[in-house]
Structure formats: C-alpha cells, structure tokens
Amino acid sequence: MPVLFFILLIILIATVGFWKTLGAIVGAVAMVVLLVILIAAVAAIGGVIAIKRLR
C-alpha cells in the first residue's frame, strides 16, 4: 500500500510540479488537523451539555 502512495506522489509531482504538490499535501494535512480539532470541540461541548443536564 505505501508503494501505491509513493507512485501516486511521483505522478503528481511529474504532472503539476514539486511546489504545488507540496502545497496540496500540506493543505490536506491541515484540513485533517482542523477536522480532528472540530470533532474534539463538538465532543467537549456535547459533554458539557450532557453534564449540565444530568445535574
């Protein structure tokens, strides 16, 4: 499986260039990080609301 990702990365670099590929990868990682932060925030707010309702 990692070989497939490596081949895909080589094709992407050959097609659009190194810097655009690097920007796309950094952007994708940033979106995943933001998604994790959003899920954690929703879980925290849901937990606070649940605790308030139990009291």
CA 32 to CA 3: how far, in whole Å? Answer: 22
Q: Does the reported pTM lie above 0.85?
A: no
8 Å CB contact between 18 and 30: no
Q: Residue with structure tokens 């606070």?
A: 48
Nearest residue to 14 via CA among 6, 3, 4: 6
Model confidence pLDDT, tens digit, residues 6-53: 888 888 888 888 888 889 889 999 999 999 999 999 999 999 999 999
